[in-house]
Amino acid sequence: MSEMPSPEITKTPAKAAALTGQIALFLDFDGTLVEIAPSPEDVKIDRRLPGALEALRQRLGGALALVSGRPVGLLDEMMTPYRFDTAGLHGAQIRLDGAEAPLAAPSEAIKAAIRKMVRFANAHIGVIVEDKRQSVALHWRLAPSLADEALALMEEVATEIGPSMRLQRGKAVAELVPATASKGGAIKWLLQQDGYVGRTPVFIGDDITDEDGFAAVNAADGLSIRIGDGETCARHRLASPTALRHVLLAAAEGGDLTLESFLQG
């Protein structure tokens, strides 16, 4: 893996002096707010973080949203007792101001794909199926030698399902998601809603699945930040979730949250 570039912004946003009240903050969850875990249910959250995000939401006039591949309900459990605006399932599920669009029942094609994935997982130690109803992910972080087989299976079931779903790859995971859903699309939609419109967007993520979100924020003259190394269109980097939490906690404890807060993180 190539060395992570110096955490210097490669292109300064036009609104680099944007203040707290002018920012709309969008945050990925796994690998961004929390460290990646061997399996999704093993994730540990810093218990200071939900309260800090609530404090920042108040300072941002409500313009803070989680943008994640996780379902909204699971993110709510992690953030108890707070409920944030959330784009879950890579944008297939959005809750704004407490109102959440209902999810359709999973199709028969998705159910058939899940059965194949479960059979594969049952036959290979360390492979995990994560059923999110509208999407389904296959994880092999605990069985890296099975990456080629796992990807081949996911490509097979994606072909069987057809154009209604797309195959999305991440770090030791591949996921079938609705073809119309994306983090970039969710961010664009949120930026048109009351409380977000007219603000400078900041999106922070860590994975291939966040790249269209970075692109959407770049197009809006905002600040895109990738956690860690790897090829990216994000214009800035932070070294780790720990570095990001330091920025967020410090701002919540009394400092203003500006674009410069992240550039110095």
CATH 3.30.420.40 fits 108-178, yes or no: no
Residue 58 has pLDDT above 90, yes or no: yes
CATH 3.60.15.10 fits 9-92+181-263, yes or no: no
CA angle, corner 213, sides to 72 and 92, nearest 5?
Answer: 35
Tokens matching residue 54: 């609530």
In this predicted model, what pLDDT tens digit does every residue of 67-87 receive, in sequence order? 999 999 999 999 999 999 999
Tokens matching residue 79: 């953030």
In which residue ranges of the chain is CATH 3.30.70.1020 found?
Answer: 108-178
Beta-carbon neighbour count of residue 239 at 10 Å? 13
DSSP assignment string, 25-42: EEE--BTTTB---SSGGG
Report yes or no: 168 and 180 within 8 Å, Cβ to Cβ: no
In this predicted model, what pLDDT tens digit does every residue of 215-258 receive, in sequence order? 999 999 999 999 999 999 999 999 999 999 999 999 999 878 88
Q: What is the pTM of this model?
A: 0.80
The dihedrals phi and psi of 100, each to the nearest 5 degrees, come to: -120, 130
Residue 28 among the catalytic residues: yes
In which residue ranges of the chain is CATH 3.40.50.1000 found?
Answer: 9-92+181-263
Beta-carbon neighbour count of residue 76 at 10 Å? 18
